[in-house]
Amino acid sequence: MFDLSLALPTASGTGMRRRDVLDPILRNGFPYSRRLSAHNYCVNALAFSSGEGRFLASGGDDPHINLWDFHQEDVKSPFRSFVGPSGNVLSLAFSATNRFLFSGGTDKTVLKYDTTHLEALNNAKSPSHVYCDHSDSVRSITCHPVQDEIFMTAGEDGNVYRYDERSSSSRPRPSDTLQIPTEVTGVQYHPVMDHLFITSDARGNVCLRDERMAFGPSTRRTNEGVVLVYNTKLTRQHVKHLSNPESSSVVFDREGNKLAVTMLHYLPTIYAVSDPNPVAVCSGKNLPNGSPVPSTERTYSNSCTMKHGSFGHPAVNTDDLYCAGSDDFRGYIWKIPPISKLTELRTEMSADEWEAQKSSSAVAFTTGRTMRKYVPLEISTPFCRLNGHKSIVNTSVFHPHFLHVVTSGIEKDILLHSPTQASPCTSNLQPTPTQVRRLTENGDEDRHTYSRALAHSYPTNGELEDEQTTLSMFDHILREEGESDVFTVRRWSSDSSDEDEETDSDSSSYDFGARFGLVASSSFPAF
């Protein structure tokens, strides 16, 4: 068995020595994989436990949440299972020391599981507490980076709740409630500065917030805690209106220096945390070898489902890889250059300069039609593509130490990807098929399957259990929505004149840096 820990330098070794060992191993990406089979339906949520990443939690559309033990010599089946909610699981999160696991989803509840004494369990473990405060689906959960008893939840009811179980009440007080006037799609604590957190919503807004100003008595709250608003509106040359794609999810890297926003109908977008304007977008125009993707082959897209990406670089302390799922039945991993380099390569121009450009397909970020335009670097050559799925890939997570990426989506199986056939927790992995399933040309059967699903008129229980039914339904959705143009489906209009009023990005960056001791586009200071 190949043991990466024996090959890597010790903690006293430099990051460059580690990379010298890793680069040859990762040269061909993650070409080996294994299917982890335990769920009956779609798997929507994945989360590794904190620290060593011993456990992978998985949840989806069936009534169980599974825990996979990566301290086993060969991970093949769940270590333990939990009794899940009555609806689909959309989010999973471990507490700071992994004492608790939280889940949230479409049944509007948040379930809390005690993960201590798991070895003594014989049957599926029930939740130790159920929180019923949301009035709509719970889209995201984030746990405080230090305190096990503090966590936040975000829902499609527009509420972000902060729970502190050190208090006498298990329900959030009004002072622990942040109301946002649209569906909240994501929330995450900053991994280092624990008074900061970020939110994303269905209107495309992505905001960095200060917990001290977002919660507490109304007299102490300021601007809903917002300290920085990220520029997420799009403009295209010769298109008179802007577009505000839904921000489906948002995630920090482990150091908290950068963040990625998953945008519906657009590309994953990378920001420096202290800079409101994006520095890069990630596409799949090229193959990993740099040659253009053939015109007959589908490539990265995100038009049909809720996606959740992640940063990582196993066995290295800096997250310079980003992974996201795609509608073309693949996962994509991009290598992200240093933020300072991306900032240098970003193009900035006035509205007049933008209109004078000859290209009619170029896309820029802006806060108003007459305001400055920012064109981030397009990382069009992925580091690698992750194959093996039969339908849309929604979720991807890096193991914090082992050289593994785990992906899931519309299928009932999870895929564990690896650059080698063996690792400290796997053996005899098989080469991943390189061919991707193609949609059939005749979509009549898929359309009928989709219509029956909408009418809840499935002919038999056997058909419900047939994964092909789910694949067929989403094939139809792909045909109908897979090529949607963001400027057509997400046309932005303002109820006031603020479409032509730009937030002063420079002063926003300056104020943010002054408040937290940062310089725009730089890393956080050492802690």
Same domain, 216 and 69: yes
Same domain, yes or no, for 205 and 97? yes
- Domain co-membership, 82 together with 225: yes
**309 and 380 part of one domain:** yes
pLDDT in tens, 36-67: 999 999 999 999 999 999 999 999 999 899 99
373 and 418 together in one domain: yes
The reply to whether 167 falls in a domain is yes
Query: Could you give the angle at which helices 467-481 and 444-455 cross, rounded to 10 degrees?
Result: 110
Residue 16 lies in a domain: no
Asked whether residue 164 falls in the same domain as residue 138, the answer is yes
- Do 159 and 202 share a domain, yes or no? yes
Range of the domain at 44: 40-230
Mean pLDDT of successive 10-residue stretches along the chain, which has 527 residues: 40 58 87 96 96 95 94 94 94 96 97 86 83 97 96 97 85 91 97 97 97 92 96 92 95 96 97 98 96 93 94 84 97 97 96 86 92 97 97 96 95 96 95 90 74 61 62 86 88 56 39 36 30
Q: How far apart are CA 522 and CA 339, in angstroms?
A: 8
Asked, for residue 87, whether it belongs to a domain, the answer is: yes
CATH of the domain at 135: 2.130.10.10
Residue at 215 is within a domain: yes
Three-state secondary structure readout of 63-104? CEEEEEECCCCCCCCCCEEEECCCCCEEEEEECCCCCEEEEE
* Domain termination site, one of 230, 263, 295: 230
Instruction: Check residue 15 and give its pLDDT.
Output: 52
Q: Is residue 302 located within the same domain as residue 245?
A: yes
Q: Is residue 360 part of a domain?
A: yes
Task: Compute the distance between CA of residue 274 and CA of residue 271 in angstroms, rounded to an integer.
Answer: 8
Residues 223 and 246 in one domain: no
The answer to whether position 377 is within a domain reads yes
- The reported pLDDT for the residue numbered 93 is 98
Is 379 part of a structural domain of the chain?
Answer: yes
Report phi then psi at 336, rounded to 5: -100, 115
Q: How many domains does the chain have?
A: 3
Q: Examine residue 54 and state whether it is found in any structural domain, yes or no.
A: yes
Terminal alpha carbon distance of the chain: 38
**Domain-ending residue, one of 230, 251, 266:** 230
Q: What pLDDT shows up at residue 238?
A: 84
pTM score of the predicted model: 0.89
- Asked if 25 and 63 sit in the same domain, the reply is no
Distances from the Cα of 435 to the Cα of 332, 396, 421, 454, angstroms: 15, 20, 19, 31
**Same domain membership, residue 99 and residue 47:** yes
How many separate helices (H) and strands (E) can be counted in the chain? 10, 36
| Same domain membership, residue 113 and residue 44 | yes
Single residue among 204, 230, 256 that ends a domain in this structure? 230
